[in-house]
């Protein structure tokens, strides 16, 4: 599984379980100790960035999509 798939699954779990980002991300990164440090950093930044910008991303998706977010 590549870093983007892993990030997506983390974000999906956060949404579905209404969990804290730090909890889910921490658990996932503990399980991914075999991954390179830069991969773990990328996953962390991507998940945190999407979470921080969620309202803006939802707005843009709603604006340009026929389905609402």
d(CA 44, CA 1): 16
| pLDDT per residue rounded down to tens, the chain (69 residues) | 899 999 999 999 999 999 999 999 999 999 988 779 999 999 999 999 999 999 999 999 999 988 765
2 touches 36 (CB < 8 A): no
């Amino acid at each position: 599984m590549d870093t983007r798939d892993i990030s997506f699954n983390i974000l999906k779990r956060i949404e579905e379980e209404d969990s804290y980002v730090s909890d889910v991300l921490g658990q996932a990164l503990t399980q991914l100790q075999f991954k390179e440090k830069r991969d773990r950093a990328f996953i962390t930044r991507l998940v945190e960035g999407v979470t921080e910008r969620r309202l803006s991303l939802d707005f843009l998706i709603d604006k340009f999509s026929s389905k609402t977010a």
